[in-house]
Amino acid sequence: MRQQIKMIKERGQVLDIQLINQDVYDPALLPMIQNDDYCITPIVHAKDRICYPYEQKVPLLHFLDQYVFDDQEGYAFLIALFEKAIAANRTKPVLLDIQYVYTLRDGSDFFFVVVPLKMDHWLYRKEDCIDFVRMIAKHFRTHSDYEIVGYLYTLIEQEEFSLPNLVLGLKAIRQKYHPKKWYECFNKKEKESFIAKEEVAHYQIEIEEAGPISREEKIIHTQVIGMVEENNPYLLSQAGEKIELLFDQMIVGRALACQIHLKQTDISLNHAKITKADGKCYIQDLKSSNGTFLNEKRVQRKMRLRNGMKVIFGSQQFTFYE
């Protein structure tokens, strides 16, 4: 199927796909795509160029890179993902790529890009499914259910691999590692669903600039490490990295949009906030999972930062300097 696509490009919140030529395009698929709630409705500009507006959704890759699943969350998320992929892909050529499968910022639903190709160009796609699962396994992160990744890697090497078998296997593995209590068998519950405990950051496309970019423009969304200017307060990590506090308000967290971006899994997406006012710095915890500490005391309200204080986010320790 990928051989029939000449170009894939994102602009704003629209995905542009250009086919190699008009002969592979099948307009008969458009009504099926438009009537499927799991599919993003395409806008056809020409027989070889289709656009997909994905609005406030985020790529699956973006979600997986920012979220760490807690106990059994990964099972609910992946089973829902693969079941919807099976439903969407059954009679339509879904672009199975974690960069172009979309979800909401809380991971509660999924949306697929269907490329309207003639059947000869997409009917047999086992290798696409294997690559899709392999990339999910590579980017999947969890605090506890490590058996999930091992199972994904094992199954894609098996002759009997298929997405339906994958779903059945995930359900069996979950029952093995998380067996239900006897009384739970009598409780009739609605179908299990997943909602992230914290939404991931908005997805932003990096746009290439035509001319030179000023230092101020470069650091709008990314904190500069190792470049400390005179008279600016900063945090110094145990490894000797300096994080300059440049703005009046800065969010510390694992989300890519945070001004102070920490990648460790015990850091919440939006962990803490540092503010500057009248030449003084203050810190405030944002209901993080593992807490923010100032000189070994948990931050439970807005607190003043003073020169030489130890600041801890989760397991990451810094020293504050004015």
The neighbouring-strand residues paired with 297 are 294
Q: Does residue 202 fall inside a structural domain?
A: no
Q: 19 and 139 in one domain?
A: yes
Q: Does residue 208 fall inside a structural domain?
A: no
Q: 71 and 162 in one domain?
A: yes
DSSP secondary structure string for all residues of 74-123:
HHHHHHHHHHHHHHHHSSS-B---TTTSEE-TTS--EEB-B--B-GGGTS
CATH code at 309?
Answer: 2.60.200.20
CB atoms within 10 A of CB 107: 24
Asked if residue 125 has pLDDT above 80, the reply is no
Query: Using CA atoms, how far apart are residues 95 and 61, in angstroms rounded to an integer?
Result: 14
Q: Which domain holds residue 284?
A: 234-321
Average pLDDT over residues 220-247: 68
Residue 254: which pLDDT band, with cuts at 50, 70 and 90?
confident
Q: Tell me, what amino acid is at 73?
A: E
Average pLDDT over residues 37-56: 89
Q: 238 and 182 in one domain?
A: no
Query: Using CA atoms, how far apart are residues 238 and 317, in angstroms rounded to an integer?
Result: 6
Per-residue confidence (pLDDT) for residue 185, from 0 to 100: 59
Q: Does residue 215 fall inside a structural domain?
A: no
CATH code at 20?
Answer: 1.10.510
Q: Does residue 177 fall inside a structural domain?
A: yes
Contacts of residue 311, defined as CB under 8 A and 6 or more positions apart, other chains included, come to: 235, 283, 292, 293, 294, 305, 317, 318, 319, 320
Asked if residue 305 has pLDDT above 70, the reply is yes
Tell me the whole-structure pTM to 2 decimals: 0.65
Complete edge-to-edge strand list for the sheet that includes strand 260-261 = 260-261, 249-253, 272-277, 280-285, 303-305
Q: 259 and 166 in one domain?
A: no
Q: Does residue 210 fall inside a structural domain?
A: no
Q: Where is pLDDT greater, at 165 or 4?
A: 165
Number of domains forming the structure of the chain: 2
Q: 283 and 179 in one domain?
A: no
Asked if residue 238 has pLDDT above 60, the reply is yes
Average pLDDT over residues 53-66: 92
Per-residue confidence (pLDDT) for residue 188, from 0 to 100: 53
User: How many CA within 13 A on the CB side of residue 274?
Assistant: 27
Top mean pLDDT of 122-131, 147-156, 197-206, 212-221 is at: 147-156
Asked if residue 209 has pLDDT above 70, the reply is no
Q: Does residue 222 fall inside a structural domain?
A: no
Among 184-188, 234-238, 285-289, 295-299, the minimum mean pLDDT is found in 184-188
Asked if residue 173 has pLDDT above 80, the reply is yes
Q: Does residue 228 fall inside a structural domain?
A: no
Q: 147 and 239 in one domain?
A: no
Q: Please, what is the Cα angle at 279 between 278 and 284, to 5 degrees?
A: 85
Among 146, 171, 186, identify where a domain stops: 186
Q: 25 and 115 in one domain?
A: yes
Decide: helix, strand or coil at residue 14: strand
Q: Does residue 278 fall inside a structural domain?
A: yes
Q: 180 and 115 in one domain?
A: yes
